[in-house]
Amino acid sequence: MKYTCTRNRMESVEAAQAIAQGISASGGLFVPEQLPQITYADLCRMQNMSYVELAEEILGRFLTDFTADEIRECAEAAYSPEKFSGGHPAPLVMLQNGEITQYALELWHGPTCAFKDMALQILPHLLVKSLAKTNPGKTAVILVATSGDTGKAALEGFKDVDGTRVLVFYPQDGVSPMQKRQMVTQEGANVGVCAIEGNFDDAQTAVKGIFTDASMQAVLAQHQMMFSSANSINWGRLLPQIVYYFSAYCQLMNSGEIDYEGEKVNFVVPTGNFGNILAGYYAMKMGLPVNRLICASNENNVLTDFIRTGTYNRCRPFHTTISPSMDILVSSNLERLLYDMTNGDAEKVSGWMRQLSETGSYTVDAETLAKIQSVFYADFCDDTATMQTVKKMKETENYLSDPHSAVAFEVYHRYHAVSGDQTPTVVVSTASPYKFSASVLTALGSELYAQDGVNDEFEQVYQLSALTGTQVPQPIQALAGKPVRFTDVTAVADMRKAVLRLAGIE
């Protein structure tokens, strides 16, 4: 299995190189030259596998320059019961309200209570083994731009991993109080955190620029360091997300919901950077029986407009919402979808990305749009509808949803109303409601318990638990007594200096 670049088909590297490098020299993203195929017989065999075994099965088909033992070591280290509570890293929960039967795929039972753990618990192990194969003796400097959840998941995953340093940049006013506290209290000798004066897109654009800056690469090389990424631009981050789509389908087979060969399902995915839903698309292309992939956005609805019209336009107001991990106007992983939908036309994709960089927009051709619309449905909702859905889900389903998952539930209810589609549907639930206690309490109609001091968010957490009769996740409880370690704030223009400082070079 070789990997090529979305902007230059002449690049061809092994999986280890793609993971270690993170992004191609041209600024494009690495993609597999072909996708392995999964048959119905394979699915029947996978049906009774543990999550670790399933991860070994899927990853083994992509990481052909890794040994089976290496992949097993990575999977066992990532998905141990000590890291994921409840007996299954990605449990499927059935919810029924009248004629609508839907399932929540809960991806937030890991150490940071967000779906990013599903990939970022295994990526450090994949990266260390990749470095040993490709760049022995070098330290990987992991640059992360985060809209909230990726930052903490990367910090936790890479904490004290030999041969790595992880540096996280987050928008100063663009994450929830709990997301911020998770990052600024992070333990570990090899971690660094810095807020930026700007939004997530500012951070992401700057990080991608730093990655491909030859002078920065030269400075790192002098110190036996190299850049890599923990964002979903890194194939080693995206690949593990494919696994939980197969896991969801296998759980449906076990429950009897899937009762004949080839029966299809829908997946509804709250979407910002397009990595999570893209993993579902790759699973479908591999042979997973998928009917529709439903892209759910908040008020930053750039993806909704693109899927409906074929024009991607980031030149629009940026909204700070109660679903901050989706507050994104530049969805990096969409580039991978465009590459696949154009049958690997790197020149066309490169042209669109150049237009996006220079003008802020591009429009795909009619054939490409038709292909996208044959698979994807898109809609969005604002904060008011999101909060109404949090309340409605608790009242009608007795299900406590975070704001991101609530966006997906609301978009699915709208889709069902207009389509009448009776296909079994899985809503991808991406975060614990306790990471957004203030918003959830407000949605439920509770008066927030507030007091001066640093523990306000914990008072909200405890009130949410008392109000709903649900348990506070242990990783969030453990934050209460942790001291703040990181208070730095930088302008976007000074991020290069901040990277060198946090890496211990200047």
- Are 421 and 98 in contact by the 8 Å Cβ rule? The answer is no
pLDDT, tens only, 381-416: 999 999 999 999 999 999 999 999 999 999 999 999
Find the mean pLDDT for residues 326-348: 96
pLDDT, tens only, 106-157: 999 999 999 999 999 999 999 999 999 999 999 999 999 998 788 999 999 9
Question: 2, 83, 116, 180: which one is catalytic?
Answer: 116
pLDDT, tens only, 274-312: 999 999 999 999 999 999 999 999 999 999 999 999 999
Q: How far apart are CA 448 and CA 456, in angstroms?
A: 10
pLDDT, tens only, 419-440: 999 999 999 999 999 999 999 9
Active site residue 116: yes
- Are 149 and 429 in contact by the 8 Å Cβ rule? The answer is no
Beta strands in 231-327 (DSSP E): 265-270, 290-297, 311-313
Residue type for position 3: Y
pLDDT at 447 over 90: no
Identify the residue whose tokens are 């942790």: 482
Find the mean pLDDT for residues 343-350: 97
What interhelical angle do 149-158 and 177-184 show, nearest 10? 20
Are β-strands 3-5 and 8-13 bridged in parallel, bridged antiparallel, or unpaired? antiparallel
DSSP assignments along 355-419, one per residue: HHHHHSEEE--HHHHHHHHHHEEEEE--HHHHHHHHHHHHHHH-----HHHHHHHHHHHHHHHHH
What interhelical angle do 123-134 and 68-78 show, nearest 10? 150
Q: How confident is the model at residue 451, as a pLDDT?
A: 42
